[in-house]
Amino acid sequence: MRKSLASYRNSAFKNFIRRHSKYAPILFFIGGFIFDTLTLGRIDRTYDLTVLCMHMTSLSITLYLYNLADDGRWENTFLARYEEYLPLAIQFFFGGLSSAYVIYFSRSVSLSKTASFFIILVLLLIANEFLKKRISNKYLQFGVYYFISFTFFTFMIPVFLKELNTTIFLISGAVSLVSTLVLFTFIYSKSPSTRKEIKLGKMIGIIIAIYGIINVFYFLRLIPPVPLALDKGIVAHDIVLKNGRYEVTYESEESYIFWRKHKLEYNYTPDQRVYIFSSIFAPTDLKKAIFHRWRKYNDKTNEWETVEDIGYDITGGRDGGFRGYTYKTNVTPGEWEVQVLTEEEQMLGVIGFQIHLRTNEGPLNLKTSKF
């Protein structure tokens, strides 16, 4: 009785999927994204680590099962009844992992020059909706899998080692490369249909090419220093530390600009300090040197000119991000920006603002917030 009930439910679900095959891919896509959005919080939280590790492990297993299904390996086994769902499962895990990366990256206050890598992640997330029609293309399968794997390890290894630098990035890339090649060659050796469809040398070449491209992005500083993220960046008139919290005074934004409380401009009086406050998310116990690069736009040369680099160290673990600030005096009116950089000069974000010389003594619309 119990077996027949389970068979009935499986049959009903299978018929439902077949009737709605046109919409099934986007439903699985949306499902993976909503699941991550509602459940993921901190990359170093045990729950988040468990979910991402389960996604990656399940994706690897499902990829193996799907490729061997073409060889009839699962006929006369309990897996046979689930073969039809394997492409959707692959799509779900692709979507779940890529959406997780998008969620973590999007929490940075400014993507600046690293936007190119973020755009790739967003396109991968959107393209996942359309992978159903081409998921049988094994070059596509393993190419996307390797990109997902590389990003996974660049998140995970710094969290576990509590360290972030170029060596750690190279180790992460090497681990992802070896693990992907091991999985691919194992599937290749077990699956005649895979050997028939793709050439071993070509597939390895594609994976190594992706590895090379990501490394080029890294050394051109086009990849943000994950898992660090710039949470807040504010140009302020005054910053005071009281009872373990920073009281930041800034010019309040107009009420109709509801997405931001602080203005991106500073009304300046000669000899007054101009503060930049930033909070940076870092996994627990991860220590890193950070600096603010103050730059001013030269209207004559139409170029940004570096004025000064001011550094400080951070230690991760605080939910609201590690807080810190720098300041300058004797500034001049014009367009300014402060780049928030790691010691390797990887960019966490850019805080842009305008400095105006104050010409009247009227009161400023100042507001103080605690962080």
Can you say whether the dihedral through the CA atoms of 260, 35, 136, 149 is positive or negative?
positive
DSSP structure string for 162-181: T--SHHHHHHHHHHHHHHHH
Q: With H, G, I as helix, E, B as strand and everything else as coil, classify residue 209.
A: helix
Residues 6 or more apart from 71 whose CB is under 8 A from it? 191, 192, 193
CA distances from 73 to 60, 125, 180 (A): 17, 31, 22
Q: Domain residues of the chain, as ranges? A: 2-219, 229-370
Q: Using CB atoms within 10 Å of the CB of residue 38, give its burial: 0 to 12 exposed, 13 to 18 middle, 19+ buried.
A: exposed
Residues 6 or more apart from 19 whose CB is under 8 A from it? none
CA 270 to the chain's CA centroid: 41
pTM passes above 0.85: no
**What's the fold here for domain 229-370?**
Immunoglobulin-like (2.60.40)
Q: With H, G, I as helix, E, B as strand and everything else as coil, classify residue 269.
A: coil
Residues 6 or more apart from 329 whose CB is under 8 A from it? 271, 272, 273, 274
Q: With H, G, I as helix, E, B as strand and everything else as coil, classify residue 290.
A: strand
In the chain, what is the straight-line distance between the N-terminal and C-terminal CA atoms, in Å? 60
User: What are the tokens at 44?
Assistant: 């170093």
Q: What is the pLDDT along the chain (371 residues), one digit of tens a residue?
A: 444 544 545 555 555 555 555 556 566 656 666 776 677 767 777 888 888 899 999 999 999 999 998 888 888 888 888 888 888 888 788 877 877 777 776 655 455 555 566 566 666 656 655 555 555 678 888 988 998 999 899 888 988 888 888 999 999 999 999 999 999 999 999 999 999 988 999 999 999 999 998 899 888 887 778 778 788 899 999 999 888 888 999 999 887 777 678 888 899 888 899 999 998 877 777 778 889 999 999 999 999 999 999 987 666 556 556 788 999 998 999 999 999 998 888 888 889 999 998 877 778 889 999 88
